[in-house]
Structure 1
Amino acid sequence: MTSTESKGRKRHSAIRARHVASSFDTAAPNERFDRQSIPIQLVRKSVTSTFDFWVQLSTNMSRRLGWYPRVEPYVSYGTEHYSRLICRTVLSPPGPQTSSASRGIWTALTVPAPHTRVSLAIDSVPIQSAQLGDFEYYDAPDSRRNQSSNSIRSDRSGYLDLVAEHNLSVGLHELTYHVPGRSLVSAPIYTIPTSARIGVISDVDDTILVTQATSKFKASYNLLLSNPTKRVSVPGMSVLYTRIHDLDPQMPFFYLSASPWNVERTIRLFIQDHGFPSGPLLLRDLDPRPKTFVPTSVQHKHEFIRQLMADFPNMRFILFGDDGQRDITTYTDVVRRYPGRVLAIGIRQLGPSETSLSSLGWSNSRPAPDIDVPIFYGTTGANLMKTMLPYLRHVC
């Protein structure tokens, strides 16, 4: 075989993604599986084994029913020089792919399509070289790690996490995905200028979307059974975010949620329908893992904030959260870890009907954190706007 034939064969052979890992899998010493008590080890083994069995069983049954792979596209982001691209391949019946939101119970039962060949293009230009992502550490773009091919195979859970280097103009671009036998599906890529000075990182659950996350029963009902088109927005938050965005039209918005990637479309449509500034969603994979089991909301937020800080080293951030899921503690740690990078913190205070005082991660009776960044409190967007917006107008 000639070298040209060898290169051609390699070109047509799909890059195979390793199983997407994350810092949740890199267990801290006190989280290591072998340091847990025997009952906890047995419970975790049984849950992970049951989950793996269900995935294998549902995959086999779906294929017997004639289901075949399609792509669930997720909103991506990047700079003029590279983009972070995430999607998932799943099994579904023949027919057109719906673009509407579904009840969470159906999205939670999504059947992955492992090791599926996917072709990608940005603005109709095929991606022929990409770096396989790995959240176990910060994935700085590195051309030495690029792999060349016309397509890439998803991992054993159906996920693709890629870093693609390129030269793109600032603004919105279209990323298209294709798997054999299916129509093209697309998702936007937010190309953010490296010169952007200020960005917003916002929690979703109970910060802009009423989920009652501090109550496991209510949160589960809202996530799995409630009508996604009737989800309630926190009063005044969309107006506050729009006013902040008006201060600088180049200001990017990033939305963090502890919800699984399965409901990405539902949250994206919620953000669109309720008038929030558009932006990429950074969600988490809730598949039970053998080391740290299911990642916590705090771990998830730390991981992606760390990634955004590295992706945009010259950007300062405005952080939004609520007082029901330890967001103040998390954001205080971020301020101390990244001095000078946080401009302000906005905390939406939950009302008595949304949570009990004992479940709050923070209350007004506790001392304020000792940081040099102002923290603004309010039960609604209108309350926060009165104090926070004048300050942001001054510093921006």
Structure 2
Amino acid sequence: MTDRDDIRHAPQQVKSILQHALIQAEEEQHRQCRVVSSSPNTSAAGPEAPAAAVALRTTSAATSNSDMPTVAVPLGAVSAGTALPAASERIALRRRLQWKNPLKQLVRKSIIGVFGVWLKLSTNLVQHLNWFPSVKPYVGYGTEEYSRLVCRTIYAPTRAKPHTPMRGIHAMLEVPAAHERVSIHIDGVPLRTVQVGTMEVYDRNDPARAQTMAYSVSDSAGYLDLLAEHRLQPGVHRFSCKVPRRGPVEAELFTIPSDAKVGVISDVDDTIMVTQVPTLWKAAYNMLLLSPRKRASVPGMAVMYNDIRRMFPDAPFFYLSTSPWNVESSIRNFILDYGFPDGPLLLRDLDPRPKTFVPSGVQHKLEYAEQLMEDFPDMKFILLGDDGQKDPSTYAEIAKRYPGRVLAIGIRQLSARESVGGLASVAGFAATQPMPVTDVPVFTGATGSNIRKTMLPYLQQFV
């Protein structure tokens, strides 16, 4: 075989190797899920019959069609009645799955190695520039019994303003300040007893794990995930974080009333903010290079969200997104600038080192969904997302795991211009996802006004 033939066949060989590795990973994951499903926690009466699923047609007035086919979406192997593994068990399971795939493990080790080199060089650079640690608190939430707080320690110039919106490329280059001492106050009262959690892993409220200390210490990525037992009245409070040599920095803390019966979980990208995630080069430009002040809102979504807020005045809005915490300030200002109901952002940690690796978008959303379901056991949720990523199947899985806890699902359908073109079609990625197959009512449309026409009359019965 000639050198030219080798070059021509090399991409096919690499593709075959990657496909084989992915198939092995999927088979191992399915095998582990079957092991979990057949554990002693399952019913002694034998295997549970699969629940009947009702396939709903598109209910938007603008897009409904009596000839529209129904597409079945796989909902995963964990049944609704199966108890989910504890956080430590899930971490161990992820590690076992990773070691079963040498190719994936090699790629991840390489990424972690490159990240470590960049982190070492950038830390030396900012220290040479006389930058020193600062803290960025993110908007928290909680019940009347306890609060969940997240902040991050990063290196910054002397006069840096922590909550200033910036382009995504600047935010992504923030250099974490690891293992920094952080003191926290809620409404001016020092917070002494806290439970230190793990980023991207749901931590239950466990008083036995609480520690009493004058300060808490951030992890190797600069993050500090705290659960604080501190009784508060429902409403919006203020909490502040402080590191040595810096003044305190404040953020909001939403305390949700115990009698709130309805909550909203919303995606961000292409649900309320135009990002065009399926088209990779456009998504990269919008997320990294576009000015935060030039971000566009999805038409009609702010109106629909505020209509839901008027229907359920006590309903909290949780913005659950796969965007990184680095861009929290930009998304926060977008929400306020376009008049969306304010609420906590639940974003993703992209540092691969403290965990087994960067969590997938589905894994990230399911983890936070579990946290919200457990934090508010009497609350039912409205799930709002789009079909540009995996929101339809993810929301169907949430509805399956927590039967009776999801009132409705709203899916914004991306236009053809948003969902195709560029590198997405070259790389072979699916532009949009099929609608979920679930017994929960699903409302779809290209804009907020389309979804609003059918969803709001349905929700009126729960007021």
CA offset digits 1:40-81 (Å, max 9, x no partner): 433322211110121122112211211101001101000111
Letter in 1 for 2:431: L
Secondary structure of the structure 2 residue equivalent to 1:112: coil
Partner Cα separation in structure 2 for residue 359 and residue 260 of structure 1: 23
The alpha-carbon deviation at position 321 of structure 1 amounts to 0.6
Instruction: Report whether the alignment pairs 1:276 with 2:315.
Output: no
* 1:82-101 correspondence runs (5 A): 82-97=146-161, 99-101=163-165
Partner Cα separation in structure 1 for residue 204 and residue 106 of structure 2: 38
Partner Cα separation in structure 2 for residue 392 and residue 59 of structure 1: 51
Letter in 2 for 1:387: T
Partner Cα separation in structure 2 for residue 227 and residue 342 of structure 1: 36
Structure 1, gaps ≥5 residues long? 1-20
Q: Which residue of 2 aligns with 1:219?
A: 283
CA offset digits 1:90-130 (Å, max 9, x no partner): 00111142533100111000000011111100000000111
Secondary structure of the structure 2 residue equivalent to 1:333: helix
Partner Cα separation in structure 2 for residue 175 and residue 305 of structure 1: 24
Q: 1:104 aligns with which of 145, 168, 186?
A: 168
Tell me the number of residue pairs that the alignment of Structure 1 and Structure 2 aligns.
Answer: 370
Structure with the larger strand share:
1
Partner Cα separation in structure 1 for residue 163 and residue 113 of structure 2: 33
Partner Cα separation in structure 1 for residue 446 and residue 360 of structure 2: 25
| TM-score, scaled relative to structure 2 | 0.76
The alpha-carbon deviation at position 22 of structure 1 amounts to 8.8
Partner Cα separation in structure 2 for residue 98 and residue 112 of structure 1: 13
| TM-score, scaled relative to structure 1 | 0.89
CA offset digits 1:195-247 (Å, max 9, x no partner): 11000000111000111111222111111101111100000000000000001
Q: Which residue of 2 aligns with 1:17?
A: none
Partner Cα separation in structure 2 for residue 180 and residue 57 of structure 1: 24
Structure 2, gaps ≥5 residues long? 1-86
Instruction: Report whether the alignment pairs 1:246 with 2:310.
Output: yes
Q: Which residue of 1 aligns with 2:430?
A: 359
Q: 1:54 aligns with which of 86, 105, 118?
A: 118
Secondary structure of the structure 1 residue equivalent to 2:236: strand
Instruction: Report whether the alignment pairs 1:337 with 2:380.
Output: no
Q: Which residue of 1 aligns with 2:131?
A: 67
Instruction: Report whether the alignment pairs 1:374 with 2:441.
Output: yes
Letter in 2 for 1:176: S
The alpha-carbon deviation at position 360 of structure 1 amounts to 3.5
Choose 55-64 or 287-296, whichever is displaced more: 287-296
Percent identity over paired residues = 54
Q: Which residue of 2 aligns with 1:208?
A: 272
Instruction: Report whether the alignment pairs 1:387 with 2:454.
Output: yes
Q: Decide whether the 8 Å contact of 2:135 with 2:249 is kept in 1.
A: yes
Q: Decide whether the 8 Å contact of 1:24 with 1:292 is kept in 2.
A: no
Choose 148-157 or 133-142, whichever is displaced more: 133-142
RMSD over aligned Cα, in angstroms? 2.0
Partner Cα separation in structure 1 for residue 181 and residue 405 of structure 2: 40
Secondary structure of the structure 1 residue equivalent to 2:416: coil
Partner Cα separation in structure 2 for residue 144 and residue 246 of structure 1: 40
Instruction: Report whether the alignment pairs 1:177 with 2:244.
Output: no
Q: Which residue of 2 aligns with 1:163?
A: 227
Q: Which residue of 1 aligns with 2:44?
A: none
Partner Cα separation in structure 2 for residue 234 and residue 103 of structure 1: 20
Q: Decide whether the 8 Å contact of 2:200 with 2:364 is kept in 1.
A: no
CA distance 1:126–1:292, shift in 2 (3 Å): closer
